[in-house]
Amino acid sequence: MPKRVDHRERREEIARALWRVVDQRGLARATLREVASEAGVSLGRLQHYFSNRTAMLTFAMDFAAERTAQRVAAGLAGLGQPAHPRDVLRVTLTEMLPLHPDARATSRMSTAYVLEALHDPALHDRARAGLRDGRAGVEGLIRQAIADGYLARDRDPAVETDLLLALTGFGTLLDLHVIEPHDALTAIDEHLDRLFSPR
């Protein structure tokens, strides 16, 4: 189905143009017109792929989540098998932070989307569902690590999950150079060491 593949590719190119606008000028500036200009297509052409701004944002957000999942999968494939859950959590967390250009684009898109979702009912439920799914995925890893004896049985999986998710808060501190990548990685390692140490 070459036509379908082409359609998908054009949509991904437009999504990447949107990421660039968000990265450089913020989501408020990401109108259909601005994104068409950044992607080098006419507004009419862009509207052929996305009928409105919400459809474009939602696709760009889903594509960012997909790219992040692919980077996590690539990182996990590089670990020894069976992978230690500490390493799995480290790869997952670090790929969510703006520590290299591709991760920076997807993390900015994600932060901006969640902020806009607070005020946009069309995005709200989807943003919430995405964050809840991500949270459930991390909690699944923690529960498995307890079941497999990597983590002490008296660890509360929900609390440990929330403490790990909080570490994604380093994103803005990194973006504004309040902390540097080395600081974020050191803090994540210290947290993971503490989590996996026997009590």
Per CB under 8 A, 43 contacts a copy of itself: no
User: Toward a copy of itself, which CB reaches closer, 35 or 117?
Assistant: 117
# chain residues binding a copy of itself, by CB under 8 A: 47
Of 86, 165, 181, 196, the residue at the interface with a copy of itself (CB under 8 A) is 165
Q: Kindly write down the DSSP assignment for every residue of the chain, as one continuous string.
A: -HHHHHHHHHHHHHHHHHHHHHHHH-GGG--HHHHHHHHTS-HHHHHHH-SSHHHHHHHHHHHHHHHHHHHHHHHHHTS-SSPPHHHHHHHHHHHTSSSSHHHHHHHHHHHHHHHHHTT-HHHHHHHHHHHHHHHHHHHHHHHHHHHTTSS-TTS-HHHHHHHHHHGGGHHHHHHTTSS-HHHHHHHHHHHHHHHHS--
What is the smallest separation between the CB atom of 58 and a copy of itself, expressed in angstroms? 16
For residues 141 and 85, what is the distance between their CA atoms, to the nearest angstrom? 7
User: Toward a copy of itself, which CB reaches closer, 41 or 93?
Assistant: 93
Per CB under 8 A, 118 contacts a copy of itself: yes
CB under 8 Å to 37, separation ≥6 — which residues? none
Per CB under 8 A, 52 contacts a copy of itself: no
User: Toward a copy of itself, which CB reaches closer, 69 or 115?
Assistant: 115
What is the smallest separation between the CB atom of 94 and a copy of itself, expressed in angstroms? 14
> Hunting for tokens 């967390």 — which residue is that?
93
Of 114, 139, 181, 196, the residue at the interface with a copy of itself (CB under 8 A) is 114
Of 47, 163, 181, 196, the residue at the interface with a copy of itself (CB under 8 A) is 163
Per CB under 8 A, 18 contacts a copy of itself: no
Per CB under 8 A, 156 contacts a copy of itself: yes
State the residues that interact with a copy of itself by CB under 8 A. 24-29, 108, 111-112, 114-120, 124, 127-128, 131-132, 135, 156, 158-159, 162-163, 165-170, 172-173, 175-179, 183-184, 186-187, 190-191, 194
